[in-house]
Chain A
């Protein structure tokens, strides 16, 4: 378990927005996708995922609707809204600035 990196504060929102930028998805799908793409390095705790989803929905960055999943099961799908897309751009550039700065320090110091 310890080999898996904990999510940095605030990065979960960014990851969710990025994941949803591709296509609408339910919570399970989001957690799966993040895990897959990060090659199992990042594992999203459900305890943080769902409150984060509800928080983003509250802020209007994602919209939710109920849709059909496999086996005719209903699932709550989240979709990136227009303001969410803007927020994603903003947070992406913020993240890039931050990681570049951290890399700079690690390489020179």
Chain B
């Protein structure tokens, strides 16, 4: 209480001071004058002449201005006043060299902009929570014997009323729905949610309403859907009369209840943006009555005032009760876990590690770029400080404290940093607008909402403060340290090289950092080239692919079989098509599945080959040579003996010298094993990425191991000629005729493959841009250092020339100084690169060595050339020096 009163009193006084400044000032003057007059009277009384008396009194008084300043400091009158004054003065100072300052501000802006953009991406991908009322009260809830829970257990937990609201959504990784609109059917990524899902979030819809509890109970088999903003706008044309309309999903009629807001973020995180939110019903969730059928993820809202630990403990009791009540279905039913939906807490150690690493790498890269920009600006201010030594010396001599001068110099840097940060925010705004437009080649729709919110602004402010300190503090301290006398006499420290040491170190550091960035980006570029020339092992020039998705539960097994056989046959009979086949998915399509397998008779050596399920004629269609044995035929179907084909690498690793054809593999583990006979060996192909090390692949026949009752299937067709693009429409029509409710995407293989290049291309571009930016900034710094050295040594150069040095010799001397900096920086950069690129090998294509001598030499050479050019431009001025003028330079 007392403290508050005191604070407010101080504040009032400050305000008073500010407004009554003039009065305080005049009172101060009057008070001091009174004292002075008294002293003069005393002096006159002692017999001095009035003039002497006055002089003596003044002498005794000391510096009146200094006393006034000290009194003002007591009143804190100066704080704001000084700041404003510093800002005015700083702005004037900066405006004296507008171009230089613009370059400095832009480089800080680029650095800060890049940092904010990466941070906001990082935030959006990993940390951002869902759009919800009080998201900090929302928790991912895991209870029971797996990460998912069955519907019956979920409703029991709901009835325990531990949570304010407990909702669930289906955790199927393939949450696709066939949305039929007009004569197109598309597989659309959706979320299947419990009736209270939007009540839990507390989200306001922009159109219509959320599910009501009664109408959307899964037992009532609701057919209700809520659209995302993007789906409504893009797929349905932003139809204003959408509410109550009936959509065809998976061949059934669903009623549209509402549309979500534009910036809605889902609870899944990572920017994953489902297009449809469908109320759970029997079709989407057939096992409503199976207590052991774990399929739902839960999210709960903590009741007001309850802590996570309390709810966790209470939940444990309920879970134990459920385990006791249903011992058969709820085996090992004991897990209880609550996890926040946003912030670092929501991260999943293992799953999110690569993404975290990726962003750490990006953060380091943009951090380095900002550091380079800062080093540049610091160098600039060092040079300014050096050329302003006289001004600073005068300020110190007439009584400014060192702290006061440092503050003044820092204000200049702050001003620059603020301008830079403003530019940075502008850059970020542009970059964000660009970034959200880049379509990501991922199997699920991703939307980032990179709005500049208070967190980003706070981050920007922190960067601004950091930049000010990094750029300004050292130069300010250094330029106020100089001893006064030589500075006042305007003596330049001509032959002392020490003064520039720090600046030299900065430039060398810049060179080192940009070298590291350039080496890294070159490694990625090399990786990209390697990938570009990698043969995936199958025909990519004459093939088309069709991704289809059968509506779930519409086909029986034999119906599915018939549909597939007919689709493939019809496709292969199209004029111009040489052959066609089916597969569960195609290689290089971001799908990855492993099997557990061992060689029959060898119980020890279990291994995990990549798996692909393919139909007959798959290998001939893809032009993958069968090296031994045969490929799958129509006869490899249910009822016939189970067979498999392996690739060369698998054969080589596990059968050494023997012929694998005719040998048997034991497929599966535990109680679910079965023998399969190997009937062929095929040439190696790439599986998940072009850059990967060759993997072991096990092929299984589609009619034995494929899913036929619904879900995704890939078809592939090879054309006779070289222009597969011409067949896109024909292929599309041929499949749509078979069943119009099948969702369909048809592409030529080349386009699909372009996606496989995406991550490497992104990293290459990113690092390349940053490296180039860094190099550019470093060269500006180098140019500045050399120009300054030439200016500073004009006198010396004049003497040298007068004594007979040729212009070439002078040029060589100046160049050697500059290039020795570059050499030192490059040496450090090479060492750091050699150490730092090691961990990158995981992100590079197989066969790209991180210590590639060609890259290291090439980058160093390029850097040396650029540096020499930049130094030459700056050093040229030394040749223009006229010895006569130079000697008079003082």
Contacts and interface: CB of A to CB of B under 8 A. Distances in A.
A73 B35 CA distance: 11
Interface in B49-67: 60-63, 66-67
Interface stretch (B71-79, B799-807, B843-851): B71-79
Nearest to B32: A50
Interface string B388-419: 00000000000000000000000000000000
Contacts of A66: 27
Interface stretch (A9-17, A51-59, A81-89, A101-109): A51-59
B38 A51 contact: no
A27 interface: yes
A46 B35 CA distance: 9
A96 to B, nearest CB: 28
A76 B38 CA distance: 13
A31 B38 CA distance: 11
A51 B34 contact: no
Interface in B563-610: none
Interface residues of B, number: 21
A69 B34 CA distance: 10
Given A28-B34, A28-B38, A50-B32, A76 B27 contact: yes
A50 B62 contact: no
Interface string B244-286: 0000000000000000000000000000000000000000000
B75 A47 contact: no
A45 interface: yes
A79 interface: no
Interface string B14-44: 0000000000000100111011011100000
Contacts of A50: 31-32, 35, 67, 70-71
B626 to A, nearest CB: 95
Interface string B725-764: 0000000000000000000000000000000000000000
A39 interface: no
A33 interface: no
Nearest to B69: A51
Interface residues of A, number: 18
A27 B32 CA distance: 9
Contacts of A28: 34-35, 38-39
B66 A47 contact: yes
B729 to A, nearest CB: 87
A18 interface: no
Given A46-B35, A46-B62, A51 B71 contact: yes
Nearest to B10: A58
Given A27-B31, A28-B35, A46 B61 contact: yes
A54 to B, nearest CB: 4
Contacts of B30: 74, 76
B31 A45 contact: no
A33 B245 CA distance: 97
B71 A26 contact: no
A50 B39 CA distance: 15
A60 to B, nearest CB: 9
A45 B62 contact: yes
B30 to A, nearest CB: 7
A21 interface: no
A55 B74 contact: yes
Contacts of B60: 46
A46 B73 CA distance: 16
Nearest to B66: A47
Contacts of B39: 28
Nearest to B38: A28
Contact of B70 (A27, A47, A69, A73): A47
Interface in A4-53: 26-28, 31, 45-47, 50-51
B75 A54 contact: yes
Nearest to A66: B27
A76 B31 contact: yes
Contacts of A58: 13, 74-75
A51 B74 contact: yes
Contacts of B67: 46-47, 50-51
Contacts of A31: 35
A70 B720 CA distance: 119
Contacts of B63: 47
B34 A75 contact: yes
A47 B31 CA distance: 13
A81 B845 CA distance: 82
A46 B38 CA distance: 13
A60 B621 CA distance: 95
Nearest to B70: A51
Contacts of B37: 73
B35 A27 contact: yes
Given A75-B34, A76-B34, A47 B62 contact: yes
A28 B70 CA distance: 18
Contacts of A26: 31, 34-35
Given A28-B35, A75-B34, A51 B73 contact: yes
Given A28-B35, A55-B74, 16 more contacts: A26-B31, A26-B34, A28-B34, A46-B60, A47-B61, A47-B67, A50-B35, A50-B67, A51-B71, A51-B73, A51-B74, A58-B74, A69-B34, A75-B31, A76-B27, A76-B30
11 contacts: A28-B34, A28-B35, A28-B39, A46-B60, A46-B67, A47-B70, A50-B67, A51-B70, A73-B37, A75-B34, A76-B31
* Nearest 4 interchain pairs by C-beta: A51-B70, A54-B74, A28-B38, A47-B62
